């Protein structure tokens, strides 16, 4: 890992460090943000040899899409679709459960998206509060 000892890096930043190293942008310091929001925050400091031009040569839109897909796939351990529930078991030992509401039609795609969103919003009832705020009472 271009001068990094992988075992010394925060677990959630390893894929990002690999990404930058694979694109010729070695880092000299990297860590995940440590906060209580369960949101992804990262600190990356490139090696002094990395120039602005080096960074601008990368197609970040495509590269970040690939990195994000790989990161999410690395976090998911197993998914169970059991109508009306979708259960996602994460590699950190936690799980997220979402269920269809009365009148909804079960969908694996919707269940997985809802579980991922719920996870990234704190894996608590914050997800439901935001939905209620914006959807209101639908009659």
Write out pLDDT tens, residues 18-39.
778 887 888 766 666 665 655 5
Q: Are residues 85 and 51 in the same domain?
A: no
Judge whether 72 lies within some domain.
no
Q: Which of 21-30, 57-66, 92-101, 111-120 has the lowest mean pLDDT?
A: 57-66
Residue-wise pLDDT tens digits, 55-72: 888 776 677 677 677 777
Range of the domain at 105: 77-135
In angstroms, the CA 66 to CA 53 distance is 22
Percentage of the residues of the chain whose pLDDT score is greater than 90: 22
What pLDDT sits at residue 35? 59
Same domain, 40 and 90: no
Confidence of residue 1 (pLDDT cuts 50, 70, 90): very low
Q: Is the residue at 47 inside a domain?
A: yes
Q: Are residues 51 and 16 in the same domain?
A: yes
Does residue 128 contact residue 114 with C-beta atoms inside 8 Å?
Answer: no
Q: Tell me, what's the pLDDT at 81? A: 97
Q: What pLDDT sits at residue 78?
A: 95
Kindly report the pTM of this predicted structure: 0.54
The answer to whether 32 touches 72, Cβ cutoff 8 Å, is: no
Q: How far apart are CA 9 and CA 68, in angstroms?
A: 18
Instruction: Looking at the structure, tell me whether residues 87 and 122 fall in a common domain.
Output: yes
Do 49 and 95 fall within a single domain?
Answer: no
How many folded domains does the chain comprise? 2
Q: Is residue 91 part of a domain?
A: yes
Mean pLDDT of 43-54: 83
């Amino acid at each position: 890992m271009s001068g990094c000892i992988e075992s010394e890096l925060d677990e959630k930043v390893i894929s990002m460090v690999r990404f930058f190293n694979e694109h010729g942008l070695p880092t000299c310091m990297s860590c995940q943000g440590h906060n209580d929001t369960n949101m992804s925050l990262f600190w990356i400091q490139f090696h002094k040899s990395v120039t602005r031009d080096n960074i601008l040569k990368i197609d970040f839109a495509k590269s970040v899409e690939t990195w994000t897909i790989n990161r999410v796939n690395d976090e998911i351990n197993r998914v169970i679709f059991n109508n009306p529930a979708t259960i996602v078991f994460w590699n950190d030992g936690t799980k997220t459960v979402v269920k269809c509401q009365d009148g909804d039609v079960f969908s694996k795609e919707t269940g997985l998206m809802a579980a991922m969103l719920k996870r990234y919003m704190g894996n608590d009832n914050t997800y439901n509060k935001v939905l209620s705020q914006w959807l209101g009472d639908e009659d």
